[in-house]
Amino acid sequence: MDLTKKSIQKIIDYCEEHGLDFQSLPEIIDEPKVAPMVRGIGFEYVIKNYLINLLKKNDNLTVKKEIINSQLTVKGDDLQIYERDTKKSFSLECKLAKNNSFSLGTKNKKYSHCSIKVMRSRTLGDEIIKRLSKKGEATIEELKSHKDSYLYNHFDLVITNLRNAFYITNEDKKFIFRPNDEEWSFLENFCNTNNHSKIDNDLKNNHYFANSFDLAPISKNNICNRKKCPNPNDCKFIPNYPVFRFDELGKVWKNLKYIEKYFSK
């Protein structure tokens, strides 16, 4: 049996096991409540397979995905890369660009950019705030003013894909990839082709990574704009929507195909 047939059989078995209609599955995964989760977790697997393929000849780096029930633990990585030479494990957080967040430039940001959604889905509760402050990660005041943000040391790298920045909600309330004319002409330039299906493929197959530290104001790349932030210039929290600058590719955000360079430093 080929892999596709095997996967279909597994889904049929899954539906039978849980008393679900196999025929309804396409509608179920497209439900507004379900689709963002399927796409978010689906992206983790896309990156896992991308990295396994990219690093298959690299015997220093190994990709791992441990499935963790995040309700039981404080920390669960999306993916890990283990570096044999240093015996270190690096945690990777996979986050899609924010829907419809592309801009050719605004008053304050005069360059083409989009936003990456890197916020917590569950905000920090008082218990965890106490625990983190005791560990010396941040003060209670700092944690309370960034309840829905990640400290930069929560993971090592953030991995993203930009295609979502060109998603809109259509007439049927469905999320779909649909750049407008202005965006298409930007993308034609960015991807160096007029072929729209090639551009779509480029967006699907090119991923970017950033060092978590470089996304936080402490790196001096930006300033925290939280009203109650006690130290906006040295803030250790990753903004909920860090900016991806198309004009500075390779500075904070780098193409994931160059990930090996990050480790060979």
By the criterion CB under 5 A, which residues form the site for Zn ion? 224, 226, 229, 235
2 exposure class (CB count in 10 Å sphere: 0-12, 13-18, 19+): exposed
Least distance in angstroms from the C-beta of 215 to Zn ion: 12
Q: Which is nearer to Zn ion, 79 or 229 (CB)?
A: 229
Half-sphere exposure (Cβ direction) of 243: Cα atoms closer than 13 Å: 21
Least distance in angstroms from the C-beta of 223 to Zn ion: 9
Least distance in angstroms from the C-beta of 228 to Zn ion: 8
Q: What is the DSSP pairing of strand 243-245 with strand 88-94?
A: unpaired
Q: Which is nearer to Zn ion, 117 or 163 (CB)?
A: 117
Q: Are 192 and 202 in contact (CB under 8 A)?
A: no
Residue 230 phi/psi, 5-degree rounding, is: -70, -25
CA 46 to chain centroid: 11
Least distance in angstroms from the C-beta of 235 to Zn ion: 3
Place of tokens 């379900």: 34
Residue 49 phi/psi, 5-degree rounding, is: -70, -35
Q: Which is nearer to Zn ion, 179 or 239 (CB)?
A: 239
Cβ atoms within 10 A of the Cβ of 39, count?
16
Q: Which is nearer to Zn ion, 178 or 228 (CB)?
A: 228
Q: Which is nearer to Zn ion, 144 or 226 (CB)?
A: 226
Least distance in angstroms from the C-beta of 117 to Zn ion: 17
Q: Which is nearer to Zn ion, 51 or 229 (CB)?
A: 229
Least distance in angstroms from the C-beta of 21 to Zn ion: 47
Q: Which is nearer to Zn ion, 131 or 226 (CB)?
A: 226
DSSP assignments along 94-105, one per residue: E-PBPTT--BS-
Residue at 74: amino acid letter: V
- Return the closest-CA partner of residue 252 out of 204, 219, 207: 219
Q: Are 162 and 203 in contact (CB under 8 A)?
A: yes
Q: Distance between CA 265 and CA 47 in Å, rounded?
A: 22
Least distance in angstroms from the C-beta of 152 to Zn ion: 11
